[in-house]
Amino acid sequence: MSEASSGTHPVLIEQDVVLARQLVRRLAQECGMRLIDLTKLVTAVSELARNTVVYGGGGYMDWAVVEKDLRPGVRLTFRDEGPGIPDLKLAMTDGWTSGGGLGLGLTGAKRLVDEFELETAPGEGTRVTITRWS
Amino acid sequence: MATLQAKTIQALQDNRTDLLNEWTHSLEATGATRNLKGDDVKQQTGEFLNLLADALHNSGSQNINHENWAQTRLFLEKLSHSRALIGQDSQQTASFIFALKGPVFALLQREYASDGAHLAEQLWEVSELLDGLGMHTIRTFQKSREAVIKRQQEELLELSTPVVKLWDGVLALPMIGTLDSQRTQVVMESLLQRIVDTGSEIAIIDITGVPTVDTLVAQHLLKTVTAIRLMGADCIISGVRPQIAQTIVHLGLDLQGVVTKANLADALALALKRLGVNVSKAV
Ligand SMILES: Nc1ncnc2c1ncn2[C@@H]1O[C@H](COP(=O)(O)OP(=O)(O)OP(=O)(O)O)[C@@H](O)[C@H]1O
Ligand SMILES: [Mg+2]
């Protein structure tokens, strides 16, 4: 796999969620992603970026346009140095929320992308990496 | 107050090419140039060194608030603004200046190798100067970023969301843009008010113009639908395009018996049917 271009985008406040979505929409369009896949990816970004702001206390989104077997894709890492997720199994359960959400962001995002990886440690933060191939 | 010696200023000029190379290297090493074009970085580092040399020559003052530093300040303001726009963070932006410290310090160490007292003094002075310029960059970066965000916020709030009467008893609410929580609240309130004012029985919320339906948007929609039902009216959501429908399914959203339609025309046809209005083609 190779990286064509990459960068980092702040995800500090609510408005950054909108900006992150716009950036990823552009990246996905640039790699010729179909509308359906693009919509799924952008929705996953919305969920993860909002979690970063709301629960992670703000963080960053590393983005990269990647390629595997001549297939382009978009890879994103949402990272924060917030409280972390104490019970990952619970957090990855449909409908479970510690706030006032629907509890579908993490599980939904996982279903919307091709690859999903979550690392978290209490007191150290959370890091979610997703990839969607076009 | 001690100042930068002519020897220091001269050394900065004589070693311009080396400084540029080392500076660019250290910028790359800190990751400050990620998502920037190589040409832009080259142009910006070059221009900054020119401005720095000019200002030091002309002013004899290292007070960057002095008018002789106006060009340099403006350059940094433009730089930080352009970086705020492309989404760089304040640290990456400030590194532009701070990464120059290493190469300059190394240069001074060579120049004043046998003159410890002056070396310490000149290091201190250069450091003060670059810190000042770096802080100026950070301050303007923050202002730019706030401006970017404010403009976007206004754009979002500005988008009007008219509640239109499609038929006696049928209201439609075409939603456009990003449903950030603040705006959704406004939209929802005006719809509920219009339902009361017009005594409407059916409200159609059209989301054709909403690019992303995530859990937050869904939550807002569900709350609105619940409120409409509590007022004794019915609600139809239209504009659920194929890609949105699929995304909703993957998210695992349960629209709790909300009637959805692909487009506004279908929603209106259904609303009229419910009201017992017969629509037939004129012969
Ligand atoms: N970055 C994070 N840092 C700390 N906790 C997190 C983070 N992301 C998620 N969580 C925890 O995981 C839970 C589940 O997240 P998820 O996104 O699935 O649901 P939610 O955000 O509560 O609701 P929504 O359906 O609106 O997204 C959250 O309620 C929160 O407790
Ligand atoms: Mg969430």
Residues 6+ apart with CB under 8 A from A55: A82, A83, A98, A99, A126
Task: Decide: B62 and B122 in contact? Cβ < 8 Å.
Answer: no
Greatest alpha-carbon span in chain B: 104
Domains defined along chain B, listed by start: 6-157 (1.10.490), 164-274 (3.30.750.24)
What element of type H or E holds B167? strand B164-167
pLDDT at A82 > cutoff 80: yes
In this prediction, residues A90-108 reach a mean pLDDT of 95
Tell me which residue has its CA closest to atom 22 in ligand 1: A97
Whole-number pLDDT of residue B238:
95
- Chain A partners within 8 Å of B178 (Cβ): 18
- Chain B partners within 8 Å of A10 (Cβ): 87, 89
Whole-number pLDDT of residue A96:
96
- Show the tokens assigned to B32: 């400050």
Which regions in chain B score pLDDT beneath 70? 1-2, 60, 153-161, 180-183, 281-283
* ipTM reported for the complex, 2 dp: 0.90
Q: Ligand 1 pocket check: which of A97, A124, A129 to mutate, most ligand atoms within 8 Å of Cβ?
A: A97
What type of residue sits at position B173?
L
How close does chain B come to A122, measured CA to CA in Å? 25
Q: Which of residues 14-33 of A touch B (CB under 8 A)?
A: 14-15, 18-19, 21, 23, 25
What element of type H or E holds B15? none
Task: Decide: A40 and B247 in contact? Cβ < 8 Å.
Answer: yes
The answer to whether the CB atoms of A18 and B152 lie below 8 A apart is yes
The answer to whether the CB atoms of B251 and A43 lie below 8 A apart is yes
How close does chain A come to B52, measured CA to CA in Å? 29
pLDDT, tens digit, 9 for 90 and up, residues B98-153: 999 999 999 999 999 899 889 989 998 999 899 999 999 998 888 888 877 777 76
What type of residue sits at position B280?
S
**Which residues have any ligand 1 atom within 6 Å of their CB?**
A 47, 51-52, 55-56, 80, 82-85, 91, 97-99, 101-107, 126; B 215-216
Whole-number pLDDT of residue B180:
63
Let me know how long chain B is. Answer: 283
- Domain range summary for chain A, segments of one domain joined by +: 2-133
The CB density around residue A118, as the number of other CB atoms within 10 Å, is 18
Topology of A2-133 in CATH? Heat Shock Protein 90 (3.30.565)
Whole-number pLDDT of residue B154:
62
Interface check for A99 against chain B (CB to CB < 8 A): the answer is no
Q: Say which of A15, A46, A104 has its CB closest to residue B253.
A: A104
Task: Among A41-45, A121-125, B32-36, B160-164, name the one with the lowest average pLDDT.
Answer: B160-164
Whole-number pLDDT of residue B159:
55
Whole-number pLDDT of residue B56:
87
Task: Decide: A63 and A70 in contact? Cβ < 8 Å.
Answer: no
B3 phi and psi angles, rounded to 5 deg: -130, 175
Rounded to the nearest whole angstrom, what is the distance from the C-alpha of residue A106 to the centroid of ligand 2? 6
pLDDT, tens digit, 9 for 90 and up, residues B219-228: 888 988 999 9
Whole-number pLDDT of residue B1:
45
B183 phi and psi angles, rounded to 5 deg: -70, -40
Whole-number pLDDT of residue B60:
66
